[in-house]
Amino acid sequence: MKTLKVALLGCGNVGSQVARILIDDADALASRTGARLELTGIAVRNPDAPRDTDLPKDLFTTDAEKLVEDADIVIELMGGLEPARSLMLHAIGHGASVVTGNKALLAADGAALFEKADAAGVRLAYEAAVAGAIPILRPIRDSLSGDRITRVLGIVNGTTNYILDAMDSTGAQFADALAEAQRLGYAEADPTADVEGHDAASKGAILASLAFHTHFDLANVSCEGISAVTAEDIAAAKEAGFVIKLLAIAEKLQDDDGAEGVSVRVHPTLLPRTHPLAAVHGAFNAVFVEAENAGELMFYGQGAGGAPTASAVMGDVVSTARRLVLGGPLGAETPTGHVPALPFEKVTTSYSIGLQVTDQPGVLAAVARVFAEHGVSIETMRQTIHGEGGQAAAELRFVTHRATEAALAATVEAIRGLDVINSVTSVLRVEGV
Amino acid sequence: MKTLKVALLGCGNVGSQVARILIDDADALASRTGARLELTGIAVRNPDAPRDTDLPKDLFTTDAEKLVEDADIVIELMGGLEPARSLMLHAIGHGASVVTGNKALLAADGAALFEKADAAGVRLAYEAAVAGAIPILRPIRDSLSGDRITRVLGIVNGTTNYILDAMDSTGAQFADALAEAQRLGYAEADPTADVEGHDAASKGAILASLAFHTHFDLANVSCEGISAVTAEDIAAAKEAGFVIKLLAIAEKLQDDDGAEGVSVRVHPTLLPRTHPLAAVHGAFNAVFVEAENAGELMFYGQGAGGAPTASAVMGDVVSTARRLVLGGPLGAETPTGHVPALPFEKVTTSYSIGLQVTDQPGVLAAVARVFAEHGVSIETMRQTIHGEGGQAAAELRFVTHRATEAALAATVEAIRGLDVINSVTSVLRVEGV
């Protein structure tokens, strides 16, 4: 039986689980691939650092370059841009296929890496980069390859879903829900990458690239996190039958001039509570796909964690090993489409706008006039009166029909300037209605 | 650019959609595969039959044998065992790869067909055979190939899910819900294959084969349909926080003697209403997968219908065409594992048992003694009293811990023989607790 040399870069949460599976499940992996997968080494910064694992000491090395030069398959789980990028290029240059979970690197520089891998005739696989254990890249790339995807909505960040789900079920404010998530290990000490949507934005770029057969990178993604979402937003959403989720959205749209393009964006989003994504609780992830023929599909599972992410990594390792055993070309990943990214202001979306107004005649007419002047039409309006007589104040909540971001943003600005408005209490986009 | 000849067998609901996509999306398919996919003909019994499609008349032929002899890819959508099987073998014998949605044929005779395809070095792809548009076979086979699947629970028949969902939301009896489903086109005039679970059983055999890397066929599947499920069963389930779903279940278990085997079965099942499968409504399908490392995954979408199923067929066509363009072996599908199928009586499961009893002292003790004698332990018991005084009757509902089917069946039989029992009102298996 053939032996394939597997080099592992990084031995954190995911890497140590991958090493465990390669060693413990060696026989099963051999029978599934037709080759022994030999773990030749694990490159780490400090081989003597204390580790919560009983992996053989002699596997550890600091010489990552040398390790990848001698490998058939390199598993990159270091994260970050450098030295991950250089080592991947070094591996590709030496004829190794690469399996990675590095969403940040792929979203920043995927196009160049795929080109190098194609030119070298090696595989660059990355199922673990989006939504952890959920098999989503292969279904989008292969199973839906004979269909036309129109939209992808993803809950692809477990930390923010955990926080929003906790706010929804307990009524907590963002800061308290974040603190609790940090205490339980669902959020990091510096939660910026998660709560400001950067992690979701990387995954959105990768999902958009696959769904629309065109390279999109982080620069194409508009991104807004959840730190401004308040308990009041969530309560108002709940009352109106909505839940707030941080979604990575990639959809094909026409701009004002009828030109087709793809919008890739991340923002807190109101979803009807009957939408399948609304039932995704805690730190779970899910990706909802709409395609012309297939209709609505959803893929649900654990989006992070050592063992779940290691499962996705190992799926890529086994697929790559099978292909290396069977022979033949490893298969190009180069996108074949050329759909432009739409600038955010040209994207059409729907807004939910909350206003505190003085309860006096004419206020609704004034607000409605602003909507009309900007060509934005109103789908629903709800009014809630607080207090009585001279103390009375009203809260108005509008949900608009779809209009461009530019028109919607201008509408909100103009409303802020009205005398009859005390404050604009919330502005959130709506999907799935 | 290379041209690949594609022959279509059958032009029903799915076939006509596949033909439409091949013709209308020819350019996109060519750019994704690197080859023109030329639809060379559509074999049907009667080319002159009226069809709700504007496909070119000259594509139709009755000479299916001749059509497949000249094809690179044969798409079999005739259904049924013959002549589908003979034509597939004929195609394989002439070096064509085959894409099929024929679950009945695969469940009856898949092992022989895969062997022939492997020997001929052609691909036999069948994503459309299970859960329509939902990409489930490729994720199980490829994405989870580095993991160990422990259990698959599938809602894989839209007709029965529609009926059970209607019974759950309206309180209707089975016969009325079936009649309504027939009126709306969700159930056929002869609904036997759906409501008695035969269709789900075929899909269960295919899912089990993929999940456990071993060939299972229909003979390995225990099957019970939903025609005996009553409105009272559903109401009682609802009250206890459960929903009743028809599940195809494939799971790895140990029998009494500690020997490992796979149980494949289809039966109405009580699921907690918080389980992700409980939120699958109407005619939608979903497959819930549990794996050692990945944890819980769910795949959700449309399980039937012309366009959705055609999407799955076309995914296989594009993947196969890509491989034919790139060259190299088409890849073996032969399972590598050899896990035996467990006989149903050795399978451990949990029962919910409803009893009408005379409300008299000692009845609970008598019933509890029967459970104990058969080694079955009780997880929960609920008692509801109807009427008063001498007219009083009680309803008891037990949920057991897991025990073998044999022990549970014997327990129910012995309970039926007790004097204090008026009737056993329902016996249903429970999962997901």
Cα separation, B35 vs B97, whole angstroms: 15
CB A277 within 8 A of CB A41: no
Task: Give the separation between CA A140 and CA A333, rounded to whole angstroms.
Answer: 13
| Structural contact between residues A303 and A283, judged by C-beta atoms closer than 8 angstroms | yes
Residues of B in contact with A296 (CB under 8 A): 301-302
Q: Quick one: closest CA in A to B331, which residue?
A: A326
Q: Provide CATH 3.30.70.260 ranges for chain B.
A: 347-430
pLDDT at A120 over 60: yes
Cβ–Cβ below 8 Å for B28 and A318: no
Residue B140 to residue B117: CA distance in whole angstroms: 20
Q: For tokens 């509890």, what's the residue? A: B368
Mutation target vs A (from B16, B73, B210, B293; most A CBs, 10 A cutoff)? B293
A145 marked ligand binding residue:
no
Q: Return the pLDDT at A331.
A: 57
| Residue B418 neighbours by CB under 8 Å, 6+ apart | B366, B367, B370
Q: What is the DSSP code (8-state) at residue A143? A: I
Q: How confident is the model at residue A336 (pLDDT cuts 50, 70, 90)?
A: low
What pLDDT does residue B335 have? 60
Q: Which amino acid is at B127?
A: E
CB contact under 8 Å between B135 and A133, yes or no, is no
Q: Report pLDDT for B103.
A: 92
Residue A10 marked ligand-binding: yes
A223 is in an annotated binding site: no
Chain A hits for B319, CB-CB cut-off 8 Å, are 142, 145
CA pseudo-torsion sign B83, B89, B94, B95: positive
Catalytic choice (B2, B5, B203, B346) = B203
Distance from CA of B230 to the nearest CA of A (A): 27
Q: What distance in Å separates residue B97's CA from the closest CA in chain A?
A: 17
- Count how many residues are written for chain A: 433
Question: In terms of CATH architecture, what is A2-130+306-326?
Answer: 3-Layer(aba) Sandwich (3.40)
Listed in sequence order, the residues at least 6 apart from A391 whose beta carbon sits closer than 8 Å to its beta carbon are none
**Alpha-helix residue ranges (DSSP H) falling in A121-188:** 137-138, 158-170, 174-183
Across the interface, whether the CB atoms of B300 and A276 are under 8 A apart is answered yes
Q: Is the pLDDT of residue A333 over 80?
A: no
**Binary contact (A326, B314; C-beta < 8 A):** no
> What pLDDT does B339 receive?
86
Q: For strands B284-291 and B295-302, give the pairing.
A: antiparallel
The CATH number for B2-132+306-326, chosen from 3.55.50.30, 3.40.50.880, 2.60.120.370, 3.40.50.720, is 3.40.50.720
What does the alpha-carbon distance between residue B29 and residue B32 come to, in Å, rounded to a whole number?
Answer: 5
Sequence-ordered alpha helix ranges (H) in B227-282: 231-239
Quote the pLDDT of residue B119.
92
B315, A133: Cβ pair inside 8 Å? no
Q: What is the pLDDT of residue B334?
A: 58
**CA atoms within a 13 Å half-sphere pointing along the CA-CB vector of B166:** 21
Closest CA to B47 of B11, B90, B8: B11
Partner-chain residue, chosen from B308, B310, B329, that has the shortest CB–CB distance to A328: B329
Note the CATH architecture for domain A137-302. Answer: 2-Layer Sandwich (3.30)
For residues A89 and A102, give the distance between their C-alpha atoms in angstroms, rounded to a whole number.
Answer: 14
Task: Please say if B5 is a catalytic residue.
Answer: no
Give chain A's mean pLDDT. 91
d(CA A117, CA A101): 16
Contact criterion met (CB below 8 Å) for A216 and A205: yes
String of DSSP letters for A59-74? GEES-HHHHHHT-SEE
Q: Answer yes or no: are the C-beta atoms of A328 and A33 closer than 8 Å.
A: no
Query: How far off is chain B from A304, nearest CA to CA, in Å?
Result: 10
- pLDDT, one tens digit per residue, over A368-388 is 999 999 999 999 988 887 777
CATH 3.30.360.10 range(s) for chain B read 137-302
CA distance A165 to chain B (A): 15
- pLDDT tens-digit series, residues A46-78: 988 888 778 999 999 999 999 999 999 999 999
Beta strands A97-100 and A124-125: pairing type? parallel
CB atoms within 10 A of CB B193: 17
Q: Which of A203, A245, A252, A346 is catalytic?
A: A203
Q: Which one, of B97, B33, B92, lies nearest residue B330 by Cα? A: B97
Q: pLDDT tens digits, residue range B354-370?
A: 998 876 778 888 999 99
Residue of B nearest to A300 (CA): B298
Q: Chain B residue with minimal CA distance to A305?
A: B294
Rounded Cα gap, residues A160 and A157, in angstroms: 6
B251 is in an annotated binding site: no
d(CA A324, CA A121): 11
List CB contacts of B278: < 8 A, sequence separation 6 or more.
Answer: B243, B245, B271, B272
Phi (first) and psi of residue B52, to 5 degrees: -85, 60
Sort out which chain A residues have CB atoms less than 8 A from B310's CB and list them. Answer: 293
Option in B134, B146, B279 nearest A297 (CB): B134
Closest CA–CA distance from residue A98 to any residue of chain B (Å): 16
CB B170 within 8 A of CB A170: no
Alpha carbon of A286 to those of A101, A266, B156, B280: distances in Å? 17, 15, 20, 15
> B382 has which bridge partners?
B397
Residues of chain B with CATH 3.40.50.720: 2-132+306-326
Task: Please tell me the predicted confidence (pLDDT) of residue A288.
Answer: 97
User: Is 60 exceeded by the pLDDT of residue A117?
Assistant: yes
- Cα–Cα distance measured from residue B157 to residue B267, given in angstroms and rounded to the nearest whole number: 12
Judged against a pLDDT cut of 70, whether residue A124 lies above it is answered with yes
Name every chain B residue with its beta carbon within 8 A of the beta carbon of A312: 143, 294
CATH superfamily assigned to domain A347-430: ACT domain (3.30.70.260)
What's the pLDDT tens digit per position in B23-80? 999 999 998 899 999 999 999 999 888 887 789 999 999 999 999 999 999 999 999 9
Among A104, A204, A141, CA closest to A331: A141
- Residue A390: the pLDDT is 66
Which positions of chain B have pLDDT values less than 50?
Answer: none
- Of A60, A24, A55, give the one whose Cα is nearest residue A41: A60
A16 is in an annotated binding site: yes
The confidence score (pLDDT) of residue B390 equals 66
Cα distances (Å, whole numbers) of residue A225 to A199, A266, A329, A406, B294: 10, 7, 42, 19, 27
Q: Which residues of B touch A28 (CB under 8 A)?
A: 148
Longest dimension (CA), chain B: 87
Measured distance CA(A392)–CA(A358) in Å, rounded: 7
